[in-house]
């Protein structure tokens, strides 16, 4: 049966392609780095964010992971229970707490960074450096556009 003209061509529809790419990257992460440390993807991302940015509020982490605050807070609690992160009082605002990796979390962060760098090399192995730079620029433009779409400015 021929495809209806009002259907999306999922082989050329940019959001579908990006979603497929993201799903495959996530699957690889679960099979490798995250799985070897019994982490789910949100926990993986939280560890990478805290390792890169240091002590942060839960809201800052949630915004950076682009995930809901409730789920991020639950993931942070699990990571704290597993002894990978610690909470600290915020000296500027007593209502907030800050989270950061502890020594064990830093060690896992190092493993995840190495796994991520190795995977990135494999993903980009047949992509010219100029194309990699262009892709990076384009992805940042798309992220900026989506941020504007989400905040209603476009």
Predicted local distance difference test score (pLDDT) of residue 143: 93
In terms of domains, do 44 and 110 share one?
yes
Residue 22 resides in a domain:
no
Per-residue pLDDT tens digits for 41-99: 999 999 999 999 999 999 999 999 888 999 999 999 999 999 999 999 888 887 888 99
Residue 34: which of 149, 153, 8, 25 has the closest Cα? Answer: 25
Q: What is the pTM of this model?
A: 0.85
Residue 69 resides in a domain:
yes
- Please state, for a pLDDT cut of 90, what percent of the chain lies above it: 80
In terms of domains, do 81 and 35 share one?
yes
Residue 154 resides in a domain:
yes
What are the two backbone dihedrals, phi and then psi, of residue 38, each rounded to the nearest 5 degrees? 55, 45
Q: Is the separation of the CB atoms in 73 and 63 below 8 Å?
A: no
Per-residue pLDDT tens digits for 100-151: 999 999 999 999 999 999 999 999 999 999 999 999 999 999 999 999 999 9
CA distances from residue 68 to 4, 40, 64, 71, 130 in whole angstroms, order as listed: 36, 15, 10, 6, 35
Residue 16 resides in a domain:
no
Q: Report how many domains make up the chain.
A: 2
pLDDT at residue 1 tops 90: no
């Amino acid at each position: 049966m021929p495809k209806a003209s009002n259907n999306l061509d999922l082989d050329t529809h940019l959001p579908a392609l990006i979603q497929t790419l993201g799903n495959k990257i996530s699957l690889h992460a679960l099979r490798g780095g995250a799985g070897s440390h019994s982490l789910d993807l949100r926990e993986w991302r939280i560890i990478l964010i805290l390792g890169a940015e240091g002590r942060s509020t839960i809201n800052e982490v949630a915004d950076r992971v682009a995930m809901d605050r409730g789920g991020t807070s639950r993931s942070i609690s699990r990571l704290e229970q597993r002894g990978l992160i610690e909470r600290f009082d915020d000296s500027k605002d007593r209502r907030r707490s800050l989270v950061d990796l502890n020594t064990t979390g830093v060690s896992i962060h190092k493993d995840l960074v190495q796994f991520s760098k190795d995977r990135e090399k494999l993903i980009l192995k047949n992509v010219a450096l100029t194309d990699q730079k262009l892709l990076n620029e384009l992805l940042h433009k798309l992220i900026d556009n989506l941020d504007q779409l989400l905040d209603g400015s476009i």
